[in-house]
Amino acid sequence: MHFTPRQVFLFGLLAALGMIAFAVGYFQIHLQLEPCPLCVLQRIGMFAVAGMFLLPVLHNPGPTGVRVYAVLGFLTAMAGAAVSVRHLWLQNLPPDQIPDCGPGYDYIMENFPLLDAIPMLLKGSGDCADVLWTFLGISIPGWTLIGFLFLGLLSLSQWWNPRR
């Protein structure tokens, strides 16, 4: 069975929104886990990926537009994946190399200019090194990385989907 690019992008949009809903509904509300700065950046990244999937669903572009959206969705997902990799790296540092706990996302965004805040957020903090939940031995940023990789490849696969 072949799917149109619009159908594939809709599936990707629903998957990205489902991951965000799971993060907020299950982790934050049900388990009462407050997101660290890198978790917040990953959520923002997932919203950006959802946006990159929403645009072609609304626009229903021709073949050239599908390819443009395929690359944009892929690049956006890879940016989110990079944040997930940074988060996993922090979680796997030896205890003596874990950075000190720093201010939270809200404090950084309220008290620093955006160009100063972004490097601070990407640096992470000791809070980001805590592994608070795992499933099949994979932590939250690990599953988020898998989600970003899946969505990036899904988007890029539309490069070769000639159907309109």
d(CA 137, CA 62): 42
pLDDT at 42: 95
The domain total for the chain is: 1
Comparing CA positions, the residue from 41, 56, 57, 51 lying closest to residue 16 is 51
d(CA 122, CA 37): 8
pLDDT at 101: 65
Domain span at 35: 5-160
Radius of gyration of the chain (CA): 17
pLDDT at 164: 54
Contacting residues for 9 by C-beta, under 8 A, at least 6 apart? 53, 54, 56, 57, 69, 73, 155, 158
pLDDT at 37: 83
pLDDT at 57: 96
Q: What is the reported pTM?
A: 0.85
pLDDT at 119: 77
Query: What are the 10-residue block averages of pLDDT along the chain, 164 residues in total?
Result: 91 97 93 86 96 96 94 98 92 78 74 79 70 90 97 96 68
pLDDT at 44: 93
CATH number at residue 63: 1.20.1550.10
Place of tokens 């996993």: 88
d(CA 102, CA 108): 9
pLDDT at 70: 96
C-alpha dihedral over 56, 47, 86, 136, to 10 degrees? -100
pLDDT at 26: 92
pLDDT at 134: 84
- How many Cβ atoms are within 10 Å of 31's Cβ, its own excluded? 10
